[in-house]
């Protein structure tokens, strides 16, 4: 073992390593070190993103999380509630549940629903293209969260805790699995024009090492140097930079000769070579113009299409976790004008999401890629009432609804072509096979090969996990 | 203390009985201590002395040397043999029993330890006295209090209250050592004793230059200059070294370095984290930062330092008010008081005492002797305080007029009240029953209890943090967890000796650091020790110094220092480190945006500003490399360093290449290059001169647009760039004709000359050598005026073509002329006399046949460029070399 000092989380004896990581022997890619007395290579210790082995074999190796931030209405997308038409403009027979703001009469969906695929699952016209792949999708109509507010719900959905600083799902997954491509970030969070609310906390690494934090890309940009910091050098041409690195290698080699036992020196040398290669690889990965025209046509025009296509290119290259946010702020938050706004937003992404599912499948990538779709909550079946300072008072939108909403999963070992769980007859509350966000997280980790109770990290004196002390794997969602 | 704990347990049990009907939830958070107590009751009672022998002499050895392979946690234990439970140990392994209680001589375990049968542990034979302990233990009948059910991953103390860190530190005499010549101080004796027990020798002292650089970086975060290094190396002596130590401890940069370490613990930031609508900034947070730096520079006694930060309002010291930022500058959690208080409790307990009290928010601590009642007692103190904003500093915490009545929040739920708690200090650190605090919120009493000599943790924890910074590894390697689940100290007596001495010396951090850096163990070389790999793979015993990498602050500061740009101004509002123009200040003055920490901070392992940092990770990600390779900041420092390396005395000739290379090395690495290095660098520079030129030419615009005069006498053109561009036209300004340049203008098709002093010029720069031919047609379409005169003028050859045209057209052909790279060809059009009706159209093609036969051509109709956006100018070869030195491992690591 090398002699260089290690920070608390890296300076692990084998015993510590096992304890802290809560994984069995062979996990963490350190099997060789544990099994024998052979020392860990430089890279293994200081590069926290090397590929690692999960707890058990699993299909899903990558995740694409399509985040409809703001809260898309389940009633208008994947959870038809025809009974609402009967009560249109009238109070529901049951009392409206308490949400963030007062709501009134029943508001039936203005969108048409249709059955798709062999499974015959009903989907609204908003996601007609997505629905063409419905036989690969498990529509969870019974997801629920804790409170009807954006901030805590985003934190719960992303980090498993509504208030405290906790690592995000993507960070946990990268901590558990590392990355298959060292030339690209392991965890990428894309959001055009700026941040969603809660900002970078949505993809934070919390107390996990910073290497597991999502790398944020503002996908309004198309130029690589605007997407990834320091990826281009305007002042030195590539062949000159190669010469620099050659000279650097000479210098470092001479320096290293008298310090041959130090893995940290070697890993820093390697990091420069990696960085150099990354310049080419990253530029290539983010350049959708390299896709054949028929593929670009399939995804369609616009920013959503481009970033969803980038997501596919990234997982294809071994990036572990890609989060695709719809846009800055909370675009799906239709307190007013739901019909117009939801139609516009769905128009922007439906074709690309449909294309993504088809494209992943035709490339044989759908099996190993878990696609997650959803927001931080859904919306009320009752119309939002005017409230000063809160909405435009048009009485044609819906309030937040955490009691029951739709999230769907596809690919990655998910049992597709099924509706899992249900909300009540009006879509207010999950009533059947309820899936709390902790359960969803447990299930996602399971699909990736982890026992959510054993994917832990020692911090501040205790072993933390994504699901804290909660979470049940939803067996019915697994193929 | 143990009795106190039992009392408190039983007290809780009574409360439980009384409240169980109302609070059935309570039964879910069964006090772990009770569980432990009942488990104990089922076991065969063991003599307390026997238990103590096992706990102090046997179990730690098993944990340290055996569990890795022989425990449940090891997965498939080697030889199917586990030592982590009493039953398993008795049972033995695949080869049968390994202990015969009462008969050490017949026990395989003993022969294995003696390397007479098996050779265990394989990493090296244990010291004889340890083997003797095992013999004695087996002779005693191998008493083993461990529970069989447990698959022990943690060497849990029999009673959390007996945990080592809760016992007051005692100063014991320096241990005897064989090599009496080596120790310079008691510190050395403790280190050497452990080394000798492991049959290891300490390393030779580091060479003077290495030592001085280490000292500078550790004490100030900045490397010494080449001159300082040379001077020190020439006169190295103990006295010189001691002087250097004192000089650096007295330098203001000391506080900037060590203050920053403290800010890691204090989870300092300039912003509140996520906010809804309020201002995100703590605009005066920097006052706390400056107070911390000043406190370190003034060597404020650490106990006073702590009290000031918890009870700044009650110290009577007006200068200490900013210290309140310690508690009040945390994340705001959308102003959720439960989270804010939890953050502050965590800060005070984990940050100052290495106790994970925040674990007791929802249930009694699972491992340490911390009941929820203690957590909510501290919570009650904070809840009895209010925050007052101040214009000239961070918010101040003051006692509310009326303290609150605090209850335990069941399972951390603020809506579910459990038993009422008094405001008192942690029971595990109190003799007997914890007494309620008397004054106001009790915050001052709490501060005093934390900063008390009687507190077994505070001094130990700080001393350990200091040691960890100086050696790259603490005596306790979990610096913020001194609890049962933390790592035990590698040198417990040394830790205690340092802690007690520290308190005896008025809690002086400077004296503590001075003592450590003057020791021989600190002065050791970091050269590899092949003999240590097996015996001490993590260098826990410090047979040599640990090599360390510059952290974010030291790296950034060192880059600026090498570039000659580091601004040593102290204090004041925070500056932006990551957006140009880049601040030249030390990184400790950088603005820390807690919510969206810029990638630069995360990339370089900055301490997470959301939680008291135990230590910083040390990663080597390719993003760090990309920053050094490509970031505008790194390029700027390389360029400036290269410029600086060319500096020479006013009357002296420019430096020869080898002199400049030598300068570069001294500025960047504090030393002269070796002959080999000199050669490599010289080759690098020379080989790049051509490519440099090519790069510069390639980066230059092909066409420039301006005005000037052709002077027939000198055959030269005086060229000035047009100042204004709009809608494809270059001219003198927004209003046309321009007051100065008149009608002079150029566009894609041609243009219009001004008066005699303002001919218009399209300037072409040849990107490479070859033969250049010009073809084209010039038209003067107007029927009026007296026409224009066009010329092609080469900087190298003067006038190469001249075409007067009036009311008609002329072909403009120049037969192939030889050009060199960088040669300029001006297409000049002047008025024929009267400068009215002089609009002209000129399409021209310039065709360059390079020496290698390739042909390239440019047509005036290809387009007309506006002003070029400011781009990073190409880095010349010297700057590239400078950058290599700034990127090398020698720059980034401290031996």
A461 near B CB under 8 A: yes
- Residue A142 makes CB contacts below 8 A (sequence gap 6+) with A404, A420, A421, A422, A423, A430, A431, A432, A433, A434, A435
Position B430 confidence tier, pLDDT thresholds 50, 70, 90? very high
- How far apart CA A1 and CA A42 sit, in angstroms, is 9
Q: Helix, strand or coil for residue B279? A: coil
> Per mean pLDDT, which range of A132-146, A170-184, A338-352, B238-252 is the poorest?
A170-184
Torsion sign across C-alpha atoms A429, A431, A432, A437: positive
Give me the percent of chain B exceeding a pLDDT of 70: 93
pLDDT in tens, B196-206: 999 999 999 99
Using a 10 angstrom Cβ sphere, with 0-12 exposed, 13-18 middle and 19 or more buried, the burial of residue A24 is middle
**In terms of DSSP bridges, do strands B770-779 and B809-811 run parallel, antiparallel, or are they unpaired?**
antiparallel
pLDDT in tens, B633-650: 999 999 999 999 999 888
Select the residue of A207, A262, A271 nearest B624 (Cβ to Cβ). A271
Position B474 confidence tier, pLDDT thresholds 50, 70, 90? very high
- Residue A100 makes CB contacts below 8 A (sequence gap 6+) with A148, A149, A399, A400
Q: For residue B492, what are its two tokens?
A: 């417990």
> CA-nearest residue of chain A to B886?
A248
CA Rg, chain A, in Å? Answer: 24
Domain ranges of chain B: 48-146, 167-204+459-543, 273-450, 552-603+620-701+882-895, 702-862
A24 near B CB under 8 A: yes
- In sequence order, what are the beta bridge partners of B59? none
Q: For residue B852, what are its two tokens?
A: 């290698």
Instruction: Answer for the pair B628, B882: CB distance below 8 angstroms, yes or no.
Output: no
Q: Helix, strand or coil for residue B546? A: coil
DSSP H or E stretch at residue B819: strand B814-819
Give me the percent of chain A exceeding a pLDDT of 90: 69
Peptide bond into B409 cis (omega under 30): no
Mean pLDDT of A47-56: 85
Select the residue of B359, B472, B625 nearest A462 (Cβ to Cβ). B359
pLDDT at A1 over 50: no
Per the CB < 8 Å rule, is A8 touching B614?
Answer: yes
Chain B residues lying within 8 Å of A164, measured CB to CB? 333, 339, 342
- Residue B737 makes CB contacts below 8 A (sequence gap 6+) with B743, B754
Backbone torsions φ then ψ of B298, nearest 5 degrees: -85, 5
Chain A residues lying within 8 Å of B336, measured CB to CB? 163
- How far apart CA B134 and CA B140 sit, in angstroms, is 10
Using the structure block, give the residue that is written with the tokens 């957590």: B375
Select the residue of A229, A251, A278 nearest B599 (Cβ to Cβ). A229
A17 near B CB under 8 A: no
Select the residue of A26, A201, A267 nearest B595 (Cβ to Cβ). A201
How far is CA B626 from each of CA A179, A231, B530, B629, B634, rounded to the nearest angstrom? 19, 7, 34, 5, 10
Chain A to chain B Cβ contacts (< 8 Å): 271
Chain A residues lying within 8 Å of B28, measured CB to CB? none
pLDDT in tens, B93-135: 777 788 888 888 888 889 889 888 888 888 788 888 889 889 9
pLDDT in tens, B692-718: 777 777 777 889 999 999 999 999 999
Domain ranges of chain A: 1-46, 62-225+291-477, 229-285
Beta strands in A96-193 (DSSP E): 103-106, 113-116, 121-124, 137-144, 187-190
CA Rg, chain B, in Å? Answer: 38
Intra-chain end-to-end CA distance of chain B, in Å? 46
Select the residue of B331, B537, B596 nearest A200 (Cβ to Cβ). B596
CB neighbours (10 Å) of residue B53? 18
Mean pLDDT of chain A: 88
Tell me the nearest-neighbour CA distance from B411 into chain A, angstroms: 12
pLDDT in tens, A276-328: 988 888 889 999 989 999 999 999 999 999 999 999 999 999 999 999 999 99
Position B45 confidence tier, pLDDT thresholds 50, 70, 90? low
pLDDT for the residue B834: 80
CB neighbours (10 Å) of residue B49? 10
Per the CB < 8 Å rule, is B68 touching A15?
Answer: yes
pLDDT for the residue B872: 67
Beta strands in B368-507 (DSSP E): 385-390, 393-399, 406-409, 417-421
pLDDT for the residue B216: 98
pLDDT in tens, B529-570: 888 888 888 899 999 999 999 999 999 999 999 999 999 999
- How far apart CA B826 and CA B799 sit, in angstroms, is 9
Mean pLDDT of B736-765: 94
pLDDT for the residue B27: 34
Chain B residues lying within 8 Å of A201, measured CB to CB? 274, 595
Select the residue of A19, A39, A46 nearest B618 (Cβ to Cβ). A46
- How far apart CA A296 and CA A37 sit, in angstroms, is 52
Chain B residues lying within 8 Å of A211, measured CB to CB? 617, 619, 621
pLDDT at A252 over 80: yes
- How far apart CA B853 and CA B860 sit, in angstroms, is 23
CATH code 2.60.120 for B702-862:
yes
A194 near B CB under 8 A: no
- How far apart CA A416 and CA A136 sit, in angstroms, is 4
Select the residue of B359, B610, B625 nearest A274 (Cβ to Cβ). B625
- How far apart CA A131 and CA A152 sit, in angstroms, is 30
Chain B residues lying within 8 Å of A232, measured CB to CB? 630
A14 near B CB under 8 A: yes
- How far apart CA B437 and CA B456 sit, in angstroms, is 20
pLDDT in tens, B331-368: 999 899 999 999 999 999 999 999 999 989 988 888 88
- How far apart CA B808 and CA B831 sit, in angstroms, is 15
pLDDT for the residue B731: 95
> CA-nearest residue of chain B to A162?
B333
Mutation site, A1, A3, A196, A458, interface B, largest B CB count within 10 A: A3
- How far apart CA A223 and CA B878 sit, in angstroms, is 30
- How far apart CA B184 and CA B176 sit, in angstroms, is 13
Q: For residue B465, what are its two tokens?
A: 């943090």
Mean pLDDT of chain B: 88
Mean pLDDT of A339-362: 98
Using a 10 angstrom Cβ sphere, with 0-12 exposed, 13-18 middle and 19 or more buried, the burial of residue B396 is buried
Using the structure block, give the residue that is written with the tokens 């009267």: B834
> CA-nearest residue of chain A to B617?
A7
- How far apart CA B850 and CA B858 sit, in angstroms, is 14
Position A69 confidence tier, pLDDT thresholds 50, 70, 90? very high
Q: Helix, strand or coil for residue B224? A: coil
- In sequence order, what are the beta bridge partners of B417? B409
pLDDT for the residue A46: 55
Torsion sign across C-alpha atoms A266, A269, A270, A271: positive
Q: For residue B879, what are its two tokens?
A: 């700057």
pLDDT for the residue B74: 63
A463 near B CB under 8 A: no
User: CA B601, B604, B607 angle in degrees (round to 5)?
Assistant: 65
A278 near B CB under 8 A: yes
Domain A62-225+291-477: which CATH number of 2.30.30, 3.30.2010, 2.60.40, 3.40.720: 3.40.720
Torsion sign across C-alpha atoms B620, B622, B627, B630: positive
Position B68 confidence tier, pLDDT thresholds 50, 70, 90? confident
Peptide bond into B737 cis (omega under 30): yes
Closest among B107, B98, B95 to B139, alpha carbons compared: B107
Mean pLDDT of B507-524: 98
pLDDT for the residue B63: 79
pLDDT in tens, B590-634: 999 998 888 899 889 899 898 898 888 777 778 899 999 999 999
Chain A residues lying within 8 Å of B477, measured CB to CB? 8, 11
């Amino acid at each position: 073992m090398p002699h260089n000092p290690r920070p608390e989380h890296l300076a692990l004896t084998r015993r510590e390593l096992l304890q802290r990581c809560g994984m069995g022997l062979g996990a963490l890619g350190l099997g060789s070190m544990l099994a024998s007395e052979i020392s860990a290579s430089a890279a293994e210790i200081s590069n926290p993103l090397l590929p690692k082995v999960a707890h058990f074999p699993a299909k899903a190796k990558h995740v694409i999380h399509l985040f409809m931030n703001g809260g898309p209405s389940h009633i208008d997308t994947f959870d038809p509630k025809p009974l609402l038409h009967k009560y249109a403009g009238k109070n529901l027979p049951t009392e409206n549940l308490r949400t963030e703001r007062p709501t009134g009469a029943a508001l039936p969906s203005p969108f048409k629903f249709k059955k798709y695929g062999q499974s015959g699952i009903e989907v609204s016209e908003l996601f007609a293209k997505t629905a063409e792949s419905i036989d690969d999708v498990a529509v969870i109509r019974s997801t629920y969260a804790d409170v009807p507010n954006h901030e805590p719900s985003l934190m719960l959905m992303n980090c498993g805790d509504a208030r405290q600083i906790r690592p995000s799902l993507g960070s946990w997954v990268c901590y558990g699995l590392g990355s298959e491509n060292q030339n690209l970030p392991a965890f990428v969070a894309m959001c055009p024009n700026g941040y969603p609310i809660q900002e970078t906390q949505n993809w934070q690494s919390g107390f996990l090492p910073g290497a597991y934090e999502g790398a944020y890309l503002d996908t309004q940009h198309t130029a690589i140097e605007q997407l990834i910091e320091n990826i281009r050098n305007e002042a030195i041409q590539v062949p000159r930079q190669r010469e620099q690195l050659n000279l650097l290698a000479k210098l470092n080699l001479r320096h290293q000769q008298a310090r041959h036992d130090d893995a940290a020196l070697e890993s820093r040398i390697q990091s420069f070579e990696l960085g150099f290669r990354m310049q080419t690889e990253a530029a290539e990965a983010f350049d959708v113009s390299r896709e054949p025209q028929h593929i670009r046509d399939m995804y369609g025009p616009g920013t959503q299409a481009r970033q969803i296509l980038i997501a596919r290119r990234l997982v294809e290259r071994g990036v572990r976790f890609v989060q695709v946010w719809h846009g800055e702020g909370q675009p799906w938050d239709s307190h007013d004008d739901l019909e117009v706004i939801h139609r516009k937003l769905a128009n922007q992404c439906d074709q690309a999401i449909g294309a993504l599912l088809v494209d992943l499948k035709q490339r044989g990538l759908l099996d190993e890629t878990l696609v997650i779709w959803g927001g931080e909550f859904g919306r009320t079946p009752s119309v939002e009432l005017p409230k000063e300072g809160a909405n435009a008072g048009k009485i044609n939108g819906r309030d937040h609804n955490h009691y029951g909403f739709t999230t769907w999963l596809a690919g990655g070992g998910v049992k597709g072509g099924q509706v899992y769980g249900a909300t009540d007859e009006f879509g207010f509350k999950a009533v059947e096979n309820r899936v709390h966000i902790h359960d969803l997280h447990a299930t996602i980790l399971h699909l990736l090969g982890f026992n959510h109770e054993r994917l832990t990290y020692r911090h501040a004196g205790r072993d933390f996990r994504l699901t804290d002390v909660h979470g049940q794997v939803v067996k019915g969602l697994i193929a | 203390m143990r009795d106190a704990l039992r009392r408190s347990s039983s007290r809780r049990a009574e409360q439980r009985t009384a409240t169980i009907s109302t609070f059935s939830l309570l039964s879910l958070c069964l006090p772990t201590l009770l569980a432990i107590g009942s488990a104990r009751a089922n076991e065969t009672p063991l003599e307390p002395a026997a238990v103590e022998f096992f706990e102090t002499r046997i179990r730690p050895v098993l944990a340290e040397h055996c569990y890795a392979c022989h425990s449940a946690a090891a997965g498939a234990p080697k030889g199917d043999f586990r030592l982590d439970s009493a039953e398993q140990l008795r049972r033995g392994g695949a080869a049968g029993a390994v202990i015969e209680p009462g008969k050490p001589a017949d026990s395989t375990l003993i022969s294995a330890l003696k390397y007479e049968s098996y050779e265990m542990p394989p990493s090296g034979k244990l010291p004889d006295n340890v083997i003797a302990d095992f013999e004695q233990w087996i002779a005693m009948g191998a008493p083993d209090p461990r529970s069989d059910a447990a698959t022990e991953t943690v060497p849990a103390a029999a009673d959390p209250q007996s945990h080592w860190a809760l016992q007051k530190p005692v100063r014991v005499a320096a241990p005897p050592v064989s090599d009496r010549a080596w120790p310079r101080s008691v510190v050395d004796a403790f280190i050497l004793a452990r080394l000798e027990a492991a049959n290891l020798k300490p390393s030779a002292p580091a060479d003077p230059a290495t030592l001085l650089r280490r000292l500078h970086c550790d004490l100030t975060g900045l490397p010494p200059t080449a001159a300082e290094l040379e001077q020190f190396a020439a006169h190295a002596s103990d006295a010189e070294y001691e002087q250097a130590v004192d000089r650096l401890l007295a330098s203001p940069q000391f506080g900037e370095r060590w203050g920053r370490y403290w800010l890691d613990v204090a989870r300092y930031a300039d912003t509140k984290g996520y906010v809804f609508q309020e201002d995100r900034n703590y605009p005066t947070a920097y006052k706390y930062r400056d107070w911390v730096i000043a406190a370190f520079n003034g060597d404020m006694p650490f106990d006073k330092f702590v009290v000031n930060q918890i009870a700044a309002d009650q110290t009577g010291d007006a200068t200490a008010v900013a210290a309140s930022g310690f508690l009040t500058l945390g994340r705001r959690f959308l102003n959720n008081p439960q989270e804010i208080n939890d953050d502050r409790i965590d800060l005070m307990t984990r940050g100052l005492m290495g106790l994970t009290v925040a674990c007791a928010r929802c249930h009694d601590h699972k491992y340490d002797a911390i009941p929820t009642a203690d957590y909510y007692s501290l919570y009650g103190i904070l809840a009895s305080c209010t925050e007052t904003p101040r214009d000239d500093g961070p918010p101040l915490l003051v006692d509310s007029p009326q303290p609150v009545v605090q209850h335990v929040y069941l399972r951390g739920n603020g809506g579910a009240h459990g038993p009422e708690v008094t405001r008192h200090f942690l029971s595990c650190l109190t003799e007997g029953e914890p007494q309620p605090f008397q004054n106001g919120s009790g915050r001052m009493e709490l501060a005093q209890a934390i900063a008390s000599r009687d507190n077994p943790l505070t001094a130990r924890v700080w001393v350990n943090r200091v040691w960890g910074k100086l050696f790259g590894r603490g005596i306790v390697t979990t610096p913020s967890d001194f609890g049962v689940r933390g790592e035990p100290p590698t040198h417990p007596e040394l830790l205690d000796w340092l802690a007690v001495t520290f308190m005896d010396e008025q809690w002086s951090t400077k004296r503590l650091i001075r003592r450590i850096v003057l020791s021989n163990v600190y002065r050791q070389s970091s050269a590899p020790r092949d003999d240590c790999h097996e015996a001490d793979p993590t260098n826990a015993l410090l047979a040599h110094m640990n090599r360390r990498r510059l952290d974010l602050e030291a790296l950034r500061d060192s880059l600026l220092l090498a570039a000659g740009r580091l601004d040593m101004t102290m204090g004041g509002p925070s500056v932006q480190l990551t957006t140009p123009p880049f601040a030249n200040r030390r990184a400790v003055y950088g603005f820390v945006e807690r919510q969206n920490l810029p990638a630069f901070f995360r990339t370089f392992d900055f301490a997470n500003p959301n939680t008291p940092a135990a230590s910083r990770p040390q990663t080597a990600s390719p993003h760090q490399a990309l920053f050094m390779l490509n970031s505008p900041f790194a390029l700027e420092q390389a360029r400036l360093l290269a410029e600086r390396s060319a500096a020479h005395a006013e009357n002296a000739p420019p430096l020869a290449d080898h002199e400049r290379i030598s300068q570069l090395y001294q500025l960047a690495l504090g030393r002269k290059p070796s002959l080999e290095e000199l050669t490599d660098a010289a080759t690098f520079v020379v080989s790049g001169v051509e490519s440099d030129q090519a790069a510069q030419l390639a980066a230059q615009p092909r066409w420039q647009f301006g005005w000037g005069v052709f002077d027939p006498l000198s055959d030269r053109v005086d060229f000035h760039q047009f100042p204004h561009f709009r809608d494809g036209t270059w001219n003198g300004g927004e209003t046309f004709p321009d007051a100065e340049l008149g009608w002079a203008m150029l566009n894609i098709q041609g243009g219009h000359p001004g008066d005699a002093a303002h001919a218009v010029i399209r300037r072409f720069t040849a990107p490479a050598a070859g033969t250049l031919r010009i073809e084209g047609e010039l038209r003067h379409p107007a029927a009026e005026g007296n026409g224009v005169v066009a010329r092609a003028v080469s900087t190298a050859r003067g006038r190469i073509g001249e075409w007067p045209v009036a009311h008609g057209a002329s072909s403009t052909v120049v037969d192939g002329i030889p050009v060199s790279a960088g040669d300029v060809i001006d297409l000049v059009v002047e008025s024929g006399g009267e400068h009215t009706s002089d609009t002209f159209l000129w399409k021209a093609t310039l065709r360059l046949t390079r020496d290698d036969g390739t042909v390239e051509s440019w047509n005036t109709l290809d387009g007309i460029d506006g002003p070029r956006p400011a781009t990073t100018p190409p880095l010349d070869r010297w700057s590239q070399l400078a950058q290599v030195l700034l990127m090398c491992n020698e720059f980034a690591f401290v031996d």
